[in-house]
Amino acid sequence: MKTRSLVFTFTSLFLIGLVQLAREADPNSQIVQEHSDRNTSTLAQTDPRLAEADRLEQQVIQLYQQGRYEEGIAIAQQVLEIRESILGDHPDTAQMLLGLGLLYSTMGRYSEAEPLYQRSLSIIEQQLGADHPDTAQPLNNLAGLYESMGRYSEAEPLYQRSLSIREQQLGADHPDTATALNNLAGLYESMGRYSEAEPLYQRSLSIYEQQLGADHPDTAQSLNNLASLS
């Protein structure tokens, strides 16, 4: 499977922000994004355990970038335990569920990643709403996992729903909409449905060119994806 744009985002798009990670969990892909203000900042000031969780979270990012996934898993589990004990089913808990799921998925440990992604999606839907922009990210993660496992029929409706949310909430020409188009197109390509993949790749490329510029890495990757269909 070719590399495509993000499956997982620890960014403000996905709630509260850490890093943007590549679709194929490629450590050489565009990684670091601006860290967003956390909605647990006040709690972190009053409960040192949450502040410690935030610090450990940064270590998880660094270990991921270094390809030290086993070490990252151990620390991510610590962060998850802290947030679950203090916050319960909170979006920050969902964030680390996604992060831990990504680490497992990167290592090919799909059966361990799946329930984490599912639980993260459930929390975000309950806390933020089924059509909230941030709900699109765990949908995308879970779809990407199913695609990696060859469970294409399960991946398709999740990618479609992620795309629909981003179109409605962010706009038809938003770069994150382009990412959703790109990922759905990639699934169709994997399934041999090339006539359905091509217009999605074309639209994704057009958005990237308009919004990010012709020389942006995402534009270049989108162009490569389209060219691969020829």
Closest listed residue to residue 13, CA positions, set 30, 42, 36, 44: 36
In a domain, 3, yes or no: no
In a domain, 125, yes or no: yes
In a domain, 70, yes or no: yes
Q: How many domains does the chain have?
A: 1
Give Cβ neighbours of residue 113 (< 8 Å, ≥ 6 apart): 101, 102, 104, 105, 145
3-state SS, the chain, equals: CCCCCCCEECCCCCCCCCEEECCCCCCCCCCECCCCCCCCHHHHHHCHHHHHHHHHHHHHHHHHHCCCHHHHHHHHHHHHHHHHHHHCCCHHHHHHHHHHHHHHHHCCCHHHHHHHHHHHHHHHHHHHCCCCHHHHHHHHHHHHHHHHCCCHHHHHHHHHHHHHHHHHHHCCCCHHHHHHHHHHHHHHHHCCCHHHHHHHHHHHHHHHHHHHCCCCHHHHHHHHHHHHCC
Output the domain CATH number for residue 123: 1.25.40.10
In a domain, 25, yes or no: yes
pLDDT per residue over 89-136, tens digit each?
999 999 999 999 999 999 999 999 999 999 999 999 999 999 999 999
Q: Which residue segment(s) compose the domain that 184 sits in?
A: 8-228
In a domain, 209, yes or no: yes
In a domain, 2, yes or no: no
Q: What is the pLDDT of residue 85?
A: 96
For residue 8, the cross-strand partners are 21
In a domain, 31, yes or no: yes
In a domain, 1, yes or no: no
Going residue by residue through the chain (230 aa), what tens digit of pLDDT does each one get?
444 443 333 333 333 333 333 333 333 333 223 333 444 555 555 789 999 999 999 999 999 989 999 999 999 999 999 999 999 999 999 999 999 999 999 999 999 999 999 999 999 999 999 999 999 999 999 999 999 999 999 999 999 999 999 999 999 999 999 999 999 999 999 999 999 999 999 999 999 999 999 999 999 999 999 998 87
